Amino acid sequence: MIKSMTGYGRHREVIDGRDILCEVKSVNSRYLDTNIKLGRMYTALEDTVKQYASSRVSRGKMDIYISIDNIEGNDNGLSVNEKFLESYVSLLREIKAKYELGGEVSIHTVASRNEVFVQTRPDEDMEALKAPLTAVMEKAFDAFTAMRQAEGEKLESDLLSHLAVLEDIRSKIVLRAPDSVRENNEKMKARIKELLDNVNYDEARLLTECAVFADKADISEELARLDSHFTQFKSILKESVPVGRKLDFLVQEMNREVNTIGSKCNDGEIAKLVIDAKSFVEKIREQIQNIE
């Protein structure tokens, strides 16, 4: 089953006295590009997050947000920066006296300055954090993957719909090709006879040249390869591994065959079919840019 590179997943859980949140979102990208946002004191866990993400996703531009709050116990490590507070209050009183200002230094005045308070936390055991963090990430990535699979199902349906149109166009070209070659040969022979009127010429040589032209205009190989590409495309969609790059390459080959058919055939009806085919090949190419 194919997966879209676009998705979102979130999970929050309290484990071992820690409130852990993980959010994952991604958009399409040619390669895996992971952007991780962690609190400064937990940067040592960045490699753990990155390795886990790469084990679940192979392509896409991902943003992963991790929040870890220790909610166990009442000690929040908050204390007063007494040196700053003494200097701050003393300076305010000097300003008041010097400039004869009104008002009093109150608790509100003091509390408005972040520098008055100092928060210290004991060092976290990063190894002990890996297990609960991974458990939360797993559930967030499960939700993320479920969304990508649901989007992938829609993409697969659209791709098969476009492919069915291409198969129909190919069938019409197959039916038209023999008549196109015959009509072109007849036109060529009539034109040559017109140009060589009253001139002796080797009719056998003329037939040989028409045969050479017919061989150059033969598109049976391109049509056979297209059919093979269509079969392979449907087979790849059923694979359980990431297939975006395979499909991208295969669509390039489809486009090559369609272009060759267009350049070989000097036929208005086939030319119109080729234009339609190129349009649907491009639609497929655009959609697989979002497949992992």
pLDDT at 186 over 90: no
Beta bridge pairs of residue 15 = 18
SS (H, E, C) 175-200: HHHHHHHHHHHHHHHHHHHHHCCCCC
- Residue 4 pLDDT grade (very low, low, confident, very high; cuts 50, 70, 90): very high
Average pLDDT (163-192) is 82
Q: What is the mean pLDDT of residues 192-199?
A: 64
CA distance linking residue 121 with residue 109, whole number of Å: 26
Q: Which residue has the higher pLDDT, 37 or 71?
A: 37
**127: β partners:** none
Widest CA span of the chain, in angstroms? 125
CB-based burial, 152-178: b 16+ in 10 Å, e otherwise: beebbeebeebbeebeebbeebeebbe
- DSSP labels, 195-247: HTTTS---HHHHHHHHHHHHHHT--HHHHHHHHHHHHHHHHHHT-SS--HHHH
pLDDT at 135: 96
Look-up of token digits 């008055």: 116
Confidence of residue 197 (pLDDT cuts 50, 70, 90): low
Structural domains of the chain in order of their starting residue, each with its CATH number = 7-73+129-148 (3.30.230.70), 78-119 (no CATH), 150-288 (no CATH)
Check pLDDT > 80 for residue 205.
no
- Tell me which residue of 56, 5, 50 sits closest to 29, measured CA to CA: 5
Give residues with Cβ within 8 angstroms of 274, minimum separation 6. Answer: 173, 258, 261, 262, 265
Q: Residue 105 — pLDDT band, cuts 50, 70, 90? A: confident
Q: Starting at the earlier edge strand, list the strands of the sheet with 32-37.
A: 7-15, 18-27, 60-70, 32-37
pLDDT, residue 194, reads 66
Q: Taking a C-beta distance cutoff of 8 angstroms, is the pair 141, 8 a contact?
A: no
Band of the pLDDT at 89, cuts 50, 70, 90? confident
The share of the chain scoring above pLDDT 90, in percent, equals 53
On average, the pLDDT of the chain sits at: 86
- Say what the pLDDT of residue 126 is: 85
Helix (H) or strand (E) holding 10: strand 7-15
Lookup result for tokens 């297939």: 243
pLDDT for 267: 82
